[in-house]
A and B are shown apart, each in its own frame.
Chain A
Amino acid sequence: MAIRNKNLVGLLYLAPALIFVLLMVLIPFGQLIYTSFTSESLLGGGKWVGAANYMRIWNDSNFWKALGFTVKYTVYITPILMITGYALALLTAPNRPVLQVARGIIFLPVVIGLGTSSLLWFWLFDQQVGLFDRALVDLHLAGNMIAWFNNANSALWAVIISVVWKVVGFGMILFMAAIQGISRDVTEASLIDGAGYWQRVRHIYFPLTARTILLVTLISAIGSMLAFEQLYIMTAGGPNGLTFTSVYWVYQSSFIKFQLGYGSALAVILTAIIMAGAAIQIALTARRAA
């Protein structure tokens, strides 16, 4: 009796959270799947259309373009973020006051909104008034002010530069904590054995922080696969619709073109892609916690 009672009390504490997730995630997810089989529209009406929306996705070259661009963005930015983040972590890991301040400043853009930072960089990259462009010209790195967003490739790089500025501190802090968490005995032993700095990085820091590297890579890649704000603000999907991302395409189909049924089918596919990555992330997190 006492045991069953204790079960019940424990459940009671979890109840608000469970009800919330049920109402805000599980039921809507069921509705999303149902809607994806209908012709639901923001203008009303919606009939069961079977797998028609999914068939349409299969033939929708815009969807494949958007997915392709999202994957390209993710494949480019993830290694850049991991390498710069890790390099900054190595650079600022010793607990000297000046390095702590540097670390604090490098992390600062993480707390700013992605929308805000995208607007900031939209200005810095502007061909007429952009100070990033002006600085490139003054440093003789560019002949004249660059029109970053007239070309899909330079637009991609502009977005990557802005997002690296915004989020590199996130990886840095997590990597730094992992590096600082390595037992001093291990590093001291390697010093006695005469290991050089790069040898230590390669044979001690990398292997002993591998789990964090994997985890941060996953978090970062999932975030990039869900990119929206930076492209909505900086490129608006242009030029010629070449920089739409998957989430942007769901938004565009559902809320600009009012095709909720079709948008739902796109969202279901997006969820399937994200779930795979997130499942690994949770497994990694849970194992350490257990």
Chain B
Amino acid sequence: MSDAAIGQRRARATEGQMVSSGRSVGYLMSAIAVFIAALMLCPLILSFLDSIKTTADASSSPPNYLPQALSLENYGKIFSYQAGLWTYVSNSLLVAAFAIAIVIVIAVPAGYGLARFNFRGKEVLFLILLLPLMIPYQALLIPLYLNFAKIGLANNALGLALIHAMLQVPFSVYLMRNSFEGVPRELEEAAVIDGAGSFQIFSRVALPLVLPGIVTIALFAFIASWNELLAALILMSKETQFTVPIMLVGVRTGHFGAVDWGALQAGIIISVIPCVAIYVFLQKYYVSGLLSGAVK
């Protein structure tokens, strides 16, 4: 076969997309993908539609797909649920803020130390930092609860944040190490020549360059903390300290066995909003973080 013929076949072969061949197959695949995506979106859309039904409509059996009339009744109920929605939201936000701060203070320097220094036992120390992957936090909640109860960290936002931060340490350290390794050494070497000290190099030269990595670990810490249920359930026994997920379980349980379905949907929508907003607006950070944290 002549070179030209091979070239032609090669060109034809690459014309089709990498994983599909032929235009009609491509359209079919797109149609299937769109159909599946629409299906995946249904539960959230139905939940939203339910949340804007009247309370009676939301509990009707058989249920209606669409609201018979629009109403903010359910949101009104969830806003004034027990200690008030704002109490739970602000508890959750406070815990998440503490968790983000702890994760950054711990993981950023650790990532820098691992990326830039060679010292004996480094590999072992790195493995120690990955220990929370091996010892599930679900198992550690008993001793942590006992310790925290002794030093006043039970029923305390900081206490819960410490546990949420622990969940994020392996991923965050790993991601920060990779981020710092991506910073060209020349920049830091230039700073050394200019007479900068180690900490100055870290804070003035390297740190600004790994800002995307820091944003990513903060996002993951927020989402993990905002959504976490088990540790919150164990640590927080006072109504006024409940986080949003505990509140939702309470709404589900209802009064005297009767579930207020409309209020539950309103609660679900409120708990989903921050996560979806972060995902939609900061998808770049989120997905790239996931990929570099789990695969590389």
Contacts and interface: CB of A to CB of B under 8 A. Distances in A.
A156 B20 CA distance: 36
Interface in B155-176: 162-163, 165-166, 169, 173-174
B136 A119 contact: no
Given A99-B30, A115-B245, A131-B46, A25 B135 contact: yes
Contact of A289 (B116, B118, B296): B296
A99 B50 CA distance: 29
B9 interface: yes
A258 to B, nearest CB: 11
A12 B146 contact: no
A13 B112 contact: yes
Given A116-B227, A184-B18, A251-B230, A91 B33 contact: yes
Contacts of B50: 123, 131
Contacts of B265: 123
Given A115-B227, A134-B63, A25 B166 contact: yes
Interface in B167-196: 169, 173-174, 178
Interface stretch (B72-80, B207-215, B282-290): B282-290
Contacts, number: 304
A235 B95 CA distance: 28
A94 B17 contact: yes
Interface string A244-261: 000100110011000010
Interface string B11-38: 0011011111100011001101110111
A112 B227 contact: yes
B13 A24 contact: no
Interface in A182-237: 184, 187-188, 191-192, 197, 200, 212, 215-216, 219, 226, 228-229, 232-233
9 contacts: A17-B173, A24-B162, A102-B36, A105-B40, A111-B275, A129-B58, A129-B261, A145-B62, A228-B138
> Which 4 pairs across A and B sit closest by C-beta, in order of nearness?
A10-B117, A113-B227, A13-B113, A191-B13
